[in-house]
Amino acid sequence: MKLKILLIMKNVATDSPETCQPACEAEPATPKFRDAQTQWEDPSHVDHMYCSTTPSVKVDKATQCEAEMGPTVTSTMVIDDARSRLYTGVRMVQFFTLVTVLLPFSKPSITLPVVDQILMTLMKLKLNLILGDIAHRFNVSTSMASIVISHWIDVMGEQFKVLIPWLPRETIRATMPLSFQMNYPQTTCIIDCAESAMQRATNHDSRSDTFSQYKSRNTVKYLVAVAPNGLIMFISDAYAGRSSDKFITMDSGFLDYLRAGDEVMADRGFTIRDLLDERRVSLNIPAFTYRRNQLTNEETTRTRRVANVRIHVERAIQRLKVFKILSQTVPISMAPKLDNILTICAGLVNLKSPLIRVPREV
């Protein structure tokens, strides 16, 4: 099933995508004529000729899904790419492809259409709406909205792992932007830690563990690794904001993906050279003035070059923070789901257009 998701996402068209409606098996019946002088064709047939091959007919994906699944709230909300990005973070065709792939994981006990269940879940992650608002929009009880969202976060968190692949070294080299090829051709990934605000716990020990000196508030912290082309290749579980960058790097399993000869680019705070040396992996970080007054000209130039390309991991994190569940304060009630939420958001970010645009050849 995971491989099926990856293959479907790779084959998704950009301009004229397929819909979730099954292919037609026969041509529509010939429309009947009416006796009214002003109307000669039965509109009931014309309005539902989805299988027509006439290129001028505009197909509404939400209407087609509604024909299959019954009346849905999605048909009135996800009507174009702009609305789809607003509510889900991805384009319309990608959203309906996800619905098709995730359909086998639905709960038979929930009568709400699956397309609405998935939209409800993604709206929670993208807009961080309160449950009462979501329940009102989908005309369900607050408890039902909570059950639906909890179920699909668990399912998506498991199934979306395939959307965060660790690229082979050959693929990384083949898709490397020119800025890396010129100065850092051996770079395998760029890493950085991001933090999201966390609701302050009532337990004093938990409150102390999640307090971040850097942010001066309670946070959760997670490691993000991106390829030189901007694809998120790794995202860790959520750690307490007090955890150091070195501890998260060592404990998250990130080091297991590295091979001898790789090169990792990071910020000054990652004092992990000893961990990488054990695996014969190089570390490229900006120079810093340790017991010195200033950097040399060579160090200044190298630091500027590193900062110029390391910014791409910051841009990837910014895309993650588009999902307001990560940019706003995470409630304590969502803490057990946070690992899956990070996986889902990273997978959806990887479905977006490339982070770094490759210039076209003239």
Residue 121 DSSP class? H
pLDDT at position 12: 45
What SS3 class is residue 133?
Answer: helix
CA distances from 340 to 15, 277, 307, 320, 351 (A): 31, 31, 31, 14, 17
- Smallest CA-to-CA distance from 50 within 21, 81, 73, 17 is with 21
Spatial distance between the Cα atoms of 315 and 318, rounded to a whole number of angstroms: 5
Residue 216 DSSP class? T
pLDDT at position 65: 54
From first to last of its 362 residues, the chain has per-residue pLDDT tens of 554 545 445 444 344 344 344 333 444 444 444 443 444 444 333 333 333 333 433 445 554 554 455 578 999 999 999 999 999 999 999 999 999 999 999 999 999 999 999 999 999 999 999 999 999 999 999 999 999 999 999 999 999 999 999 999 999 999 998 888 888 899 999 999 999 999 998 888 888 889 988 888 999 999 999 999 999 999 999 999 999 999 999 999 999 999 999 999 998 889 899 999 999 999 988 866 666 667 677 767 777 777 778 888 999 999 999 999 999 999 988 999 999 999 999 999 999 988 877 654 43
Name the H helices within 103-175.
114-127, 131-138, 142-159, 169-174
Spatial distance between the Cα atoms of 199 and 185, rounded to a whole number of angstroms: 42
User: The tokens of 275 are what?
Assistant: 């961990």
Query: Across-strand partners of 224?
Result: 192, 235
Q: Which residues contact 22 (CB under 8 A, 6 or more apart)?
A: 68
